[in-house]
Structure 1
Amino acid sequence: METAVRKLFERYENLFNRSLGNDVNMDEVASLYASDFIAASPAGVMTGKNDDQLKQAMEQGYARYRAIGTKEMRIRDISISPIDEYHCLAHVAWTAIYAREDRPNVAIDFDVHYLVQKLSDEAKVFGWVSGDEQALLKKHGIG
């Protein structure tokens, strides 16, 4: 399980960074996710399907990240808490690098906790829990 989860997040990091350069295939990004998912943050809880609506929302999200100056998303650490032989919680520590016009780049550390399922050889995200991204960005003068 651990190898498959680490491979999943290597792909996740790679695809995210490619998207910041506007070089990404949304089908590839969608392949990281299970057919259905749940997301929770201080903004609330939502559920969704891995469909064209998700791809469109993700494309808009990447455009927003580019617009606020996101230059790189880097994984600092991954720790895995097994749930059973098919599921785990992956605690991913990220660092986001933002470029600002008249000031030095800023690095912001944050964590996201992903629910991951591995039914065959490939692990997929079926949920995530994150903090208040907007408040964190505002605190650092981004966005």
Structure 2
Amino acid sequence: MNKKKIRSFFAEYERRFNDSLAGNPLDVDAMVADFAEYVVGSGPTGVMGGKNDESYREMIAKNEDHYRSIGAKYMKVKDVEVTELDDLHAAAKVYWDSGYEKDGKKITIDFSVIYILTFLHNEIKIFAFISGDEEKVLKEHGLMPEEKS
């Protein structure tokens, strides 16, 4: 396992995300290639999984549109903590600094995501991730509307 290679992997992930936020065309092929054939995610709404197929490609594009629509300006990797699990797997806790703009006001939010990685055929692929309650944090910062009861 090469920790430097993992950090470079997330630097490229960050670069592609920020290119899209800046209005450049999203490199969906490269984003999809970062993930394994099947991806599992866990967060406050539960555990979900799905095949990395056409619907996954559409979800990635929708996510980018969503971030731009709520005023996202950048996502920056602050740090990556890598834990080797075995010769073929690692967990990478990525600390993100995200910047938004709403009504002329700049908002920064720090958060982290744990990515579970596999190293098949000398390639890094994300096959699972664990995230916190992003929607709650975005609402707390006024970036998403509160639901009316």
State the TM bucket, normalised to the shorter chain: over 0.9
**Mapping of residues 1-143 of structure 1, within 5 Å:** 1=1, 2-20=3-21, 21-103=23-105, 105-143=106-144
CA distance in 1, matches of 2:135, 2:85: 30
Deviations for 1:35-87, whole angstroms, at most 9, x for unmatched residues? 11100000111001111100101101110100000000000100001100110
The residue type paired with residue 134 of structure 1 is: E
* Residues in 2 aligned to 1:57 and 1:122: alpha-carbon distance in whole angstroms: 23
- The RMSD of aligned alpha carbons is 1.0
Structure 1 position 96, deviation (Å): 0.7
How high is the TM-score relative to the length of structure 1?
0.95
Give distance in 1, aligned partners of 2:62 and 2:135: 16
- Following TM superposition, where does structure 1 have runs of at least 4 consecutive aligned residues deviating by more than 6 angstroms? none
Extract unaligned runs of 5+ from structure 1: none
* Greater RCO (Cα-Cα under 8 Å, separation 6 or more): 1
Aligned to 2:86, what secondary structure does the other structure show? coil
In the alignment, the residues of structure 1 paired with residue 120 and residue 31 of structure 2 have an alpha-carbon distance, to the nearest angstrom, of: 19
Instruction: Give the letter aligned to residue 87 of structure 1.
Output: H
Gaps of 5+ in 2: 145-149
Percent identity of equivalent pairs: 36
